[in-house]
Amino acid sequence: MTARMKLPVLLSVSFKYLWSYRRRYLFLFLTLAFSFGVVTVISSLKDGMEEGLYFSAQSHYAGDIVADGRESGSSTDHLTETEMTAIFAAAEAVNITTSSLAIRTTRSGRREGAIYFNGNEAALKYVVGVDWEREKSYFSKLLYTGEPGFTDDQSILLSAPIAQELGARQGDSVVLETLTTLGEKNTGNFVVAGIVEDSSFFGYYKVYVSRLTLNRLIGFNDGDCSLIGFFLPSRSGIKEKREALHRELSSRITTGPLVYDRDGFDEAYRQIESGIVTFLLTLPVYLSEAAQVMDAIDLAFLVLFSMMLAIIMVSAAVTSRLILHERIRETGTMRAIGFYEADVRLIFKLEIFTMALFSMIAGFFLALLINVILSGTSFTWVPGFEVFLQNGRLSARYLPGTIVVNIAAVGCMLGLAIWGPIFRNSRNPLPEMLSGGAL
């Protein structure tokens, strides 16, 4: 009998055995299904959280590619009309298509502003000047406490922690204090148009006002800005697009070098001697700030993943040993009627891996169920967790690569756990096996 002819027979035998011993396999089936389910939940949530962080960062830093103007001796990012015209012309020349565009003026730093209401003060880390109309779609996606009101040049959007610190509600009049580019204090009166539910490190100390009003407050020309953000329709080819834009832009205005992380950016900024230098940044440059958070998530994922794999290995080793012990006479009989050792081993392996396949399918459905429950739960009450959420909810991502890795890892653990007992079982002397001797 050739191997090609033998395999269907062995498969059929193994399925029959699997069905006959289904009760014996139940414990291992449940353990594997649960463990694979947990592993899938963890990995899909991790991928979802990373995606959430990317989206949060994309919203905060205004795009996939950001043109940021830095000026020697100034802490304020600044692009004048000259740089802005050059950036738009360069983007057109290299055919950068965008799904949306953000033009913002930002004041960010240790204490670049404060907001006052009814005698209370809240220090601000980010004062962001936006074009309400241009970024309508972005603001419609934010989570608000209540229904946000109409926004104009006198409107301000506060983060929920800031509003709580001030005791301010929608419709209240607040005073925003900031520093001009020359370091003078300047103030403006604003009406709270909405309160944004964001207590993440991107949004905690943040307010949004009109770009025109902020420009006037800090002493920019009306049309100036700090950055221009390009939201691209797809994440593929961002690196190449940035390089092409950089080449084109460098022929028009002074640009900084292409930098790949925050340290590189800071170093390049220190080397500016005079005038405005435009940098083209991508999110990984900014996100190197959040690298520690991501490392912590990865570590927690690895610990949980390892624990689950250990559970799988121990359960599989114990269960398979028990099953093999119970079936030792049967194995002996199979050997006595002419089955080769390798065939006997293959039957057992096929049994267990078939069962594992079904349990992983069950585990995947279990993961889907758990993720549906988790995504229906609000986690906005966890301080700083918003940065990982999408629309205030945990979002799972089932990346094919991650699922294949999970299946491979579970398969490997299972293989390692059952290989030893199966091998020993098939190698026992025939008389001992037929008499029900030890494994």
Structure tokens that stand for 136 in this block: 């309508």
Angle at 312 between CA 309 and CA 317, to 5 degrees: 125
Angle at 431 between CA 425 and CA 435, to 5 degrees: 80
DSSP one-letter string for 290-307: GHHHHHHHHHHHHHHHHH
Least gap, CB of 219 to other proteins (angstroms): 8
- Angle of helix 400-427 relative to helix 341-375, nearest 10 degrees? 150
Q: Judged by CB, which is closer to other proteins: 213, or 320?
A: 213
SS3 29: helix
Round to whole Å and give the CA distance between 148 and 193. Answer: 6
Phi, psi of 120, deg, nearest 5: -85, 150
Q: Judged by CB, which is closer to other proteins: 217, or 414?
A: 217
Q: Judged by CB, which is closer to other proteins: 116, or 301?
A: 116
Least gap, CB of 278 to other proteins (angstroms): 25
Q: Judged by CB, which is closer to other proteins: 145, or 186?
A: 186
Q: Judged by CB, which is closer to other proteins: 217, or 422?
A: 217
Find all residues with CB under 8 Å of 434, minimum gap 6, and list them.
Answer: 329, 332, 333, 336
**231 Rama sector, left if φ>0, alpha if ψ -120 to 50, beta otherwise:** beta
Q: Judged by CB, which is closer to other proteins: 23, or 270?
A: 270
Least gap, CB of 281 to other proteins (angstroms): 28
* Residues at the contact surface with other proteins, assessed by CB under 8 A: 116, 118-121, 175, 177, 180, 182-189, 217
Q: Among all chains, which residue has been given the structure tokens 């690895």? A: 302
Least gap, CB of 181 to other proteins (angstroms): 9
Least gap, CB of 147 to other proteins (angstroms): 28
Least gap, CB of 175 to other proteins (angstroms): 6
